[in-house]
Amino acid sequence: MILETRLTSESPLAISVRRGAGFSLDTLHHIPGNAIRGAIAQAYLESGGSVTSSEFQRVFVAEGVRFQDHRSDGARPWPLSARQCSQGLEKHPYRDLLLAAATGRRLLEPCRWCEAKMERPQGFYLPLGQVGEVRAVEISVERQMHSAVDPRRLSVLPGQFHSSRTRKAAQNFEGRLVAKDADSLEALESVLERGKSELTLGRGRTRGLGQVRFRYDAGEPTRPESVRERLQALNAEFGLTDWVVFSCTFCSAALFYDEWLRCQSQLSGGDLDPHLADYECLSAWTGQVPWSGWHAGAGLPRPELWMIAPGASYLFGRRVARDRVDEREQELARVAAVLHRLEQQGVGERLAEGFGEMIACSEYHYELGRAGSADRQAGGA
């Protein structure tokens, strides 16, 4: 029940990080799912669709569809546990600290090729064909300048000069729209057919910013075996046979409330799903980002929330009896099935807006972690 979607920007694009204040505004480097959701709803209503129609109700009101974030060429944000050489950048091996932190390995080792300090890569990466090989994604951003206009004279207002960072035009953003069931998919397709294929997104629309062309194709869901294979590989790399571990890496911002309805960034297995309640957090590389928006229905700004940052990475684990191989295999199969479901539906709150998009047992925690352990052995020899 998935549509693979592609947005191509036909003019520069400025997506606000938070409510605009001051004379210099920044832009997000990806298109959040909730911005796409709002733009598709607007295009549908402008082409004569009605908010009371069954398709609108099913897609937007009953939240039958998740609008996931769209990123340059379908790239993923770097895990917050990833490290790169500060001198050799892409040429020297990457490292990942998620497993290293849980197993008590040294975290502050320098680059094994040139001894330079390791630092956290910014932005996005794309997995390449080779297992464990990745490429950092270039983000092209420019700055637009304009003066304020005096509404009485319709001329330039002296002393008010604004600058706004934008993503350049002619960029591709890829992502997914995930329908809960066949009826929601059918409703989504009729919403998209009625709406226009040109959408407007972000700020500066009256100055021509934010024009994007929208295309979609039927997509394939992740196979359950793929999650099982990643889970096995992560556990093999972790190396302790009396443990079952899994990781959760966020591709989008994620929202979890604690019992006082405050945003939380520390998670346990039970926060992801009740079926994972006996898993404790062994290692967490996390951060928070501010998030606000505009409530079109109320005509009011939404309150600002501090969400878990895209790229936040967690390792969860649980002890199992060392000599009961069957029991461990059964537990791995059970966890793989839960994680497969969570990858499809997301975790946390406000899933329809694309928050809580996660990858279970991302290859990069064990492929890059392996480079780290080889490094450690070389250092110890």
What are the distances in angstroms from CA 365 to CA 254, 269, 287, 361, 368?
20, 18, 18, 7, 6
Binding flag, residue 89, Zn ion (CB under 5 A): no
- Residue 85 lies near Zn ion (rule: CB under 5 A): yes
Identity of the residue, 114 or 325, whose beta carbon is nearer to Zn ion in the bound complex: 114
CB of 115 to Zn ion, least distance (A): 7
Scanning 86-94, 150-158, 162-170, 258-266 for contacts with Zn ion by CB under 5 A, the matching segment is 86-94
Restricting to residues 158-217, which ones interact with Zn ion according to CB under 5 A?
none
- Give the interface segment with Zn ion, choosing from 85-93, 143-151, 190-198, 225-233 (CB under 5 A): 85-93
Q: Among residues 89 and 128, whose Cβ is nearest to Zn ion? A: 89
Distances (CA, A) of 156 to 22, 165, 218: 18, 21, 49
Site for Zn ion contains 371 (CB under 5 A): no
- Tell me which amino acid residue 126 is: L
In order, the DSSP letters of 15-62 are --SSS--SSEE---SSB-HHHHHHHHHHHHHHTT--TTSHHHIIIIIS
With the CA atoms of 153, 156, 159 and 161 taken in that order, what torsion angle do they form, in degrees rounded to the nearest 10? 140
Q: How far is the CB of 16 from Zn ion (least distance, A)?
A: 36
Taking the complex as a whole, how short is the minimal distance between the CB of residue 102 and Zn ion, in angstroms? Answer: 25
Q: Identify which of residues 57 and 87 has a Cβ nearer to Zn ion in the complex.
A: 87
CB 38 within 8 A of CB 22: no
- Identify whether the C-beta of residue 272 lies closer than 8 Å to the C-beta of residue 254: no
User: Which C-beta is closer to Zn ion: that of 114 or that of 236?
Assistant: 114
Write out the H or E segment, with its range, that includes residue 223.
none
Which residue number, 114 or 148, has a Cβ lying nearer to Zn ion? 114
Cβ proximity to Zn ion: between 89 and 131 the closer is: 89
Which pair of tokens denotes residue 28? 């997000």
If the CB atoms of residues 88 and 239 are measured against Zn ion, the closer one turns out to be: 88
**What residues from 94 to 123 belong to the interface with Zn ion (CB under 5 A)?**
111, 113-114, 116
Please report how close the Cβ of residue 84 comes to Zn ion at its closest, in angstroms.
8
Q: Is residue 374 within 8 Å of 269, Cβ to Cβ?
A: no
| First-last CA distance in the chain | 52
The two three-digit tokens of residue 334, written as one number: 């059970």
How many residues of this chain interact with Zn ion, rule: CB under 5 A?
A: 7
State phi, psi for 280 to the nearest 5 degrees. Answer: -100, 160
111 vs 361, beta carbon nearer Zn ion:
111
State the Cα–Cα distance between residues 195 and 192, nearest whole angstrom: 5
Q: Contact region for Zn ion (CB under 5 A) — 89-97, 151-159, 183-191, 245-253?
A: 89-97
Containing H/E element for 41? helix 33-46
Residue 129 in contact with residue 120, Cβ under 8 Å?
no
CA pair distance 249, 339, nearest whole angstrom: 12
Q: Which is nearer to Zn ion, 41 or 85 (CB)?
A: 85
User: Which stretch in 82-90, 247-255, 275-283, 343-351 sits in contact with Zn ion by CB under 5 A?
Assistant: 82-90
In this structure, are residues 135 and 125 in contact, taking their beta carbons and an 8 Å threshold? yes
- Tell me how far apart the alpha carbons of residues 77 and 249 are, in angstroms, rounded to a whole number: 10
- For residue 90, the minimal CB distance to Zn ion (Å) is 11
**Least Å from the CB of residue 95 to Zn ion:** 10
88 binds Zn ion (CB under 5 A): yes
| Least distance CB 121 / Zn ion (angstroms) | 13
Q: Is 43 in the site for Zn ion (CB under 5 A)?
A: no
Enumerate binding residues for Zn ion (CB under 5 A): 85, 88, 92, 111, 113-114, 116
